[in-house]
Structure formats: C-alpha cells, structure tokens
Structure 1
C-alpha cells in the first residue's frame, strides 16, 4: 500500500510554547513545527520567520500582543521556504529583510517552492487562500548587517551556505542568543532538498564560533544552555555527515539512487528515525545528496510533480 506523501498524514495539532529567553526575547515553538523568533527593542518588534500563512501568523501576533504593544517593524526571513515566509503579510512590518541570495532564490523558484510545499504540509498551510502572493524582501544584504532597535543590537549574518544558499542567522551578541533558522535543528530531521551539503559543515562551524548560550533552532525546542546548544549543532552535523558519506560511497560504487536510498535509510534510521519529519525528509535529502555527489552542484528546482514522483518511487520501495 502506498504511503501518504510527505506530511499529508500529519494532521494532529501541536501544542505551542511561547518561551521567554531574556527580557524582550521570545521563541514560538510547536513540538517540531517551524519556529518563529521575537525580539522586542525600545521602539519596535522584530519577527524572525513568519509561519506559512497569514492565518497561521495570527497566533504569533496574539502572543506578541500579550507582552508588548510596540509596532512590528521588521520581519526577517532566515531563508526562503514557503512554510517559513508566506505569513509575512499579516505582520504589517515596515521592512522584510533577507540575504541577497535568498532574494535570488525567490526570483528563480519562489512560486515552484510555494506550490511544492503546500502539497507537502497541508496542516501547516491553514487558510492558504489568505496568502496574497510571494513574500518579497524590501532590504537585502550580502554578508551581514546590524540593526539597532534602540539600545538592543541585532546582527543578521550570512555565515555560509547550508540548508539553502541564502541562510542567515539573527544574533544577539549582548545576550548571546541565536536564532539559527534551519541551519540547526533539534530533535527534527534536517531538510536538505535545497542544501549545499559540502558547505554546510563549515557553516555550522561558523555558527558554533559565535558562542551562543541560548539558541532557537528551525524546528525543535528553544535551547537555554550551552550544552543543549552544542547538542543541537552536533546532532545536525552528525545527521548531515552520515547521510552524505553514505550517499557518496554508494555513488562511487556505481549504485543507483533507489539502492542508495534503501541503504542510507537503514544507516540513519536507528539513530535519527524518531526525529520529527524523518520519513518526510529522507527522500528529498538523499536525492539532493545523490545530485551533489554527481553533476549537480546547485540544487534542482522541486516542483509539485517532481516531489510526488520522486518521493513515492523511493519511500514505497522500502
């Protein structure tokens, strides 16, 4: 019997947590669903990643309004995947900020990405009809920028390619709090369908070098000790390394993708199989690893049609 595609069978609502990490700094998490960060400055609010639709964003806004009445001035896109950014219009922010590389990705594949992810994550796209169109940044930067929200300093940094070519982190150097986007996960499977797997380990080393004492990953609990921060970075690294090395070995031996998929799944499942969206991600992850180990240095565009054909070809063969 064919398995339900991606996360189409995942219909159970998750419990939301709104955790205070420091004065004016919060994490919106939901048991492995995409996280949102909130930073409150002297004169306004920054939201890091927006949820998938304006309707989904309303719960974030409600929680913000429980702790401040300051205007939401900035929305930051840690990267461009629809499940992260399509709720941006709900916030009425003065500026939407991303890296230049993320802007380029929107131009190249924004609509394809939207159509693809709606099919993968139906539960996370509640009120999808409220999405007014693609989310376009109003401010971009190449490697970094600093925002002063009154006395609060926020550094937005492109530390290298990883989850996508445009990933950025939001870093509070005075508080030593980091919002990593999907460069770092905790108890959740890294999605690597648009990744640069050769570059990602160095980017994680750059993340580690910041010395964060608290971290909000792309998915998973907000982390409040240096030990759990390191566990998240190391766990993400372990998954990426084991997955890519297994795929590269199979490809060097001349094996086909479906055989490499079955072997790599068996390598990863004992250690990582209980992580959120493991079965969802693995076909995309291993297909991208197979591509990068061969002739495709840059990720190919995922379309809704390519998604389902590839996913079932691999998962249904297990």
Structure 2
C-alpha cells in the first residue's frame, strides 16, 4: 500500500462534459470528479453542487452561459462536504439551500472536513486561496421544500441517510429527472467515510420509487433512460453492500480494522477496482464500515490527523 493517499498524485485535469438530461436540465461531469447540476426555469437558474473552489465553479458558470443568460438565483448543496460547497462564492449571491442536518454538520465538522479533504485531494483544491470561508446556507429545510423558478417547480427533499446524514435530492416533476448528489454514483466508487450503510439501500429505494427517466449522479456520467438509471441504482446498492457485509462478518467475531480491510478488498476488488477514486475511497469506507458494524451510529469526524493515523493502521 502506498504511504500517501491514493488521490494525492492525481494532478491531471479531467475532460468536462455538459449533458442535457431533460428540457433545460444539465449534468456537469468530469471523468469521476464531483458533478454539478443545472436547472433552467422560466426566470432564473438553479445550480446543484458548488464545486470545491471558485476556480472550478467558474467552469460550471461558463457552461451555463453557453446555454442561457438567465440569472443564477438558487444554489442547492446536497450535503456538507468541502468538495461540494466551497466554490459557492463564484455564483454571485444566490439563495443557498441545505437540509437542516447538513447545516448542523457544517457547524460540527465543516472546518475539519475542509482540512482533511485538502490533504487528500490536492488537485480539486487548486485555487483554494480564493475560498473566502466555510459555506453557510441561507435557507434550510427538514424533510421537503419546493422552489418555483417562474412556473417551473423544483422539489428538494431529504429521503433518508446514505452518503451522509443530511443528504438532499432535487426532483424536477415536469421532466421526471432527479439530481441525487453522492447517494448514487456511476462507475465511480461511493465515498462512505461519513455514510450510513444500513440506511443507504432504503434511500436508494425511495429514489427508485419516483421512477426517474434520468439522473444526474454525484460522480460519473449522466444517466439518461430508465435502463441506465436502474443499472446505476443497482450497482450503487451492490457497492455499498459489498463494503458493509464483510465488515459486519469480521466485526462480529471481534476482528481488527486490518482484517476488515482484507475482507472488503476480497469482496470489492474483483467488481470495482477499475472504478474512479476506488483506491482513494477504500480506506475511509473500510474504517466507517468497521465503526458502524460495531454499533457506532454517528460517523466520527475525519481530521487530517485521523486520516494519517487510519492510513498508518491499515499499512500495519
């Protein structure tokens, strides 16, 4: 195992795609880097996910301006992670929306997450000097809220715990399209370091109940068509279960973190080793799965120091 995090040496720029997934709906993707979404209404634009820095966010704005000159009025952040939220200042002064639970996580662990992610994934934080501060929502909701972009209705919902405790999804009823954040991934590893494995499957089922004809996932290509949507939901479920089941087995017999690591690799490597950011996510996924399997419901806060200790323990 390498002595540095798997993404520390990943410094090559990724090719950006801007894909229309419904009328006036777009997925901004970049070869497994964090995705953003765009909803164009009658009067204004909603963006889903800010990106990690203003520099990266401006790439999203450039794509938006290639299709509309309407103002950006709303920014939805599906969860609190630094790579999703710290580019918010590049969008002007939109209404910034998060779930109540996501805001609470900014309070509790936002700075620690920023410090931790900065060390893990340096390429995504190029231009970090422009980040003014932690990103705070101007509006929060508990279970569901509705925004009208002129006549276009957008529902923002918390369907359950999965990638984090505060995950939101964005549903556009007139097009039957959903933006899922990192609850759903496509040919990219799920990051489960703040996850809730036992709940994740139920949340995926709640998404499936909407029968979306297209999904903008958290990472990976836009999912257009029911066949692609179903494949991504099934595959995401398999990834989460294939990580958690071995951890449960090892924890039940009092095994160690390193034994969980070996068991998860044996289960996941044959199916997912070629996925984007697989090696990057794996140690954090293993550590969280081990904790949850031992009854630790609330994910422990990741800090730069804890990252290094965990990495050292797994190399032992």
TM-score range, shorter chain: over 0.9
Whole-angstrom distance in 1 between the partners of 2:216 and 2:204: 14
Deviation at 1:182? 0.2
2:55 is matched with which residue? 55
For the pair 1:263 / 2:263, whether they are aligned, the reply is: yes
Q: Is the 8 Å Cα contact of residues 22 and 214 (structure 2) preserved in structure 1?
A: no
Whole-angstrom distance in 2 between the partners of 1:286 and 1:6: 15
SS in 2 for 1:199: helix
Q: Is the 8 Å Cα contact of residues 23 and 175 (structure 2) preserved in structure 1?
A: no
TM-score, normalised to structure 1, is 0.97
Whole-angstrom distance in 2 between the partners of 1:198 and 1:128: 35
Whole-angstrom distance in 1 between the partners of 2:242 and 2:99: 29
Count of residue pairs the alignment pairs up: 316
1:162-207, Cα deviation, whole Å (9 max, x unpaired): 1000000011111011100000000000011001111111111101
2:91 is matched with which residue? 91
Whole-angstrom distance in 1 between the partners of 2:94 and 2:287: 39
1:76-97, Cα deviation, whole Å (9 max, x unpaired): 0011100011001110133000
1:32-77, Cα deviation, whole Å (9 max, x unpaired): 1000000111111100001100111111111111111111100000
SS in 2 for 1:113: helix
2:221 is matched with which residue? 221
Deviation at 1:98? 0.6
Give runs of aligned pairs for residues 156-235 of structure 1, distance below 5 A.
156-235=156-235
1:238 is matched with which residue? 238
TM-score, normalised to structure 2, is 0.98
1:102-141, Cα deviation, whole Å (9 max, x unpaired): 0100000000010011111111111001000000000000
Deviation at 1:6? 3.4
Q: Is the 8 Å Cα contact of residues 6 and 311 (structure 1) preserved in structure 2?
A: no
Whole-angstrom distance in 2 between the partners of 1:83 and 1:22: 26
For the pair 1:122 / 2:111, whether they are aligned, the reply is: no
Whole-angstrom distance in 1 between the partners of 2:101 and 2:141: 9
Judge which range, 23-32 or 136-145, deviates more: 23-32
Structure 1: gaps spanning 5 or more residues: none
Deviation at 1:270? 0.3
Whole-angstrom distance in 2 between the partners of 1:286 and 1:46: 35
